[in-house]
Amino acid sequence: MLDSLHIKNFRCFEDLTIPSLGRVNLIVGKNNSGKSTLLEAIALFSQHGHSQALKDIAKMRGEVFSKKTLSILEGDSYIGDSSKKNHIQYKHHSQNGRVDVSVVINDKNLTEKHVHEQLFPEDNHTFSFIKTTIYPEKELAKAWDKIRIQKKDQLLKNALQIIDKNIDDVFYTTNQVTMVSVAGEEEARSIKSMGEGMSRLLQIFLYAYQAKGGYLMIDEFENGLHYSIQEDVWEKLFKLAKELDIQVFATTHSEDTVKAFCKVSLADEEVDGKLISLGRSAAIADNGKILADVYDEKTLVWIVQSGMEVR
């Protein structure tokens, strides 16, 4: 688990330091303040800076991956903790018009050949990245199979019961259609017939389980989730984060999400929750540099009681 985070020369982050992280972290900030970029940085760190991870990140934004410049890196880059005990670095070397890139993982150098031929260490951190949209059912079915094999499917049923307490089973057809069985109904029905919130819940907890021992990133947590159930969702995520040793990073624009997160974080004495606000510095000398404010339990109490706007 990362106790702090330092990101340098990655997309919009010139030099960002977050001095303290929790087990569960909610990231807020205005548009173009780097919320999604922070999740991408964690995903890249989780995969030891693998070139395929760079390609996947570029693809999510509809960008073209450039072998010559690695496209989304601005010069020498760093992603990791502030103490430099656990980190990745990209170093650019220019010679005769050619740009070579080497990767440093915890002070161990990998050559440019490693970067582009994907000769990377295989001991990546486990991670899951949940985008703003619902993934195709084919992908969800693969994640579901892993849970069924390990007999952990009750986890998903309990999560979906946040919306409907009468749900007693979830399964996939041979055509990989997600079906839900509701007590008292003769036939199961497609999860899509039960609204976007049900599919979003399924996706969150399917991929939370797959992040066991690693990192879970959720972009725009509130998508599809009515404000009235968000506390329940956070409660289950906090509990799961501890049980499965997951560090959670989620973004939001929603005031309801912030309030729900704060209440659950304050009520849970075992799991540390942090609210991280990203914003551009007003100091002329900083030239719009993005900075981070971290709100711990003491300030979360004040946010809840005062109704302070932190988005």
What CATH number is associated with residue 31? 3.40.50
Nearest to 53 by CA among 80, 68, 35, 71: 71
Report how far apart, in Å, the C-alpha atoms of 132 and of each of 16, 201, 218, 262 are. Answer: 24, 12, 8, 22
Whole-number mean pLDDT of the chain? 84
Q: How many domains does the chain have?
A: 2
What digits encode the pLDDT tens for the residues 179-193? Answer: 899 998 989 999 999
Same structural domain, 47 and 106: yes
Q: Do 185 and 218 have their domain in common? A: no
- Tell whether 146 and 61 lie within a shared domain: no
* Beta-sheet strand order (sheet of 178-182): 167-172, 178-182, 189-190
With DSSP H G I counted as helix, E B as strand and the rest as coil, what are the percentages for the chain, rounded to 5?
A: 35, 30, 35
Domain range spanning residue 102? 5-126+211-306
Instruction: State the average pLDDT over residues 42-49.
Output: 87
The helix or strand, by DSSP H or E, that contains position 309, with its residue range, turns out to be none
* Ramachandran bin of 229, using left for φ above 0, alpha for ψ from -120 to 50, beta for the remaining angles: alpha
Query: What's the number of CA atoms in the CB half-sphere (13 Å) around residue 273?
Result: 28
Tell which phi-psi region holds residue 108, choosing left (phi > 0), alpha (psi between -120 and 50) or beta. Answer: beta
Q: Confirm whether 49 is domain-assigned.
A: yes
| pLDDT at 95 (0 to 100) | 59
What average pLDDT does range 186-214 have in this prediction?
A: 91
Q: Could you report the per-residue pLDDT of 80-109, keeping only the tens digit for each?
A: 998 878 888 877 666 555 555 667 777 766
- 176: in domain: yes
Tokens of 50: 């693998």
| 180 and 237 housed in the same domain | no
Residue 162 domain-assigned (yes or no): yes
* DSSP secondary structure of 250-301: EE---HHHHHHHHHHHHH-SSS-EEEEEEEE---GGGTT-EEEEEE-HHHHH
As a residue count, the chain comes to: 311
- Is residue 15 predicted with pLDDT exceeding 70? yes
Distance CA 276, CA 106 (A): 26
Report field, pTM of the whole predicted structure over 0.75:
yes
Query: Are 142 and 104 members of one domain?
Result: no
C-alpha span between 289 and 98 (Å, rounded): 30
pLDDT interval class at 146 (50, 70, 90): confident
Highest mean pLDDT among 8-22, 58-72, 138-152: 8-22
Q: Tokens standing for 193?
A: 């017939």
- Interatomic CA distance for residues 204 and 255, integer angstroms: 20
Of the two residues 69 and 188, the one the predictor is more confident about is: 188
Mean pLDDT across the stretch 271-294? 89
Q: What is the pLDDT of residue 252?
A: 95
More confident residue, 108 or 244: 244
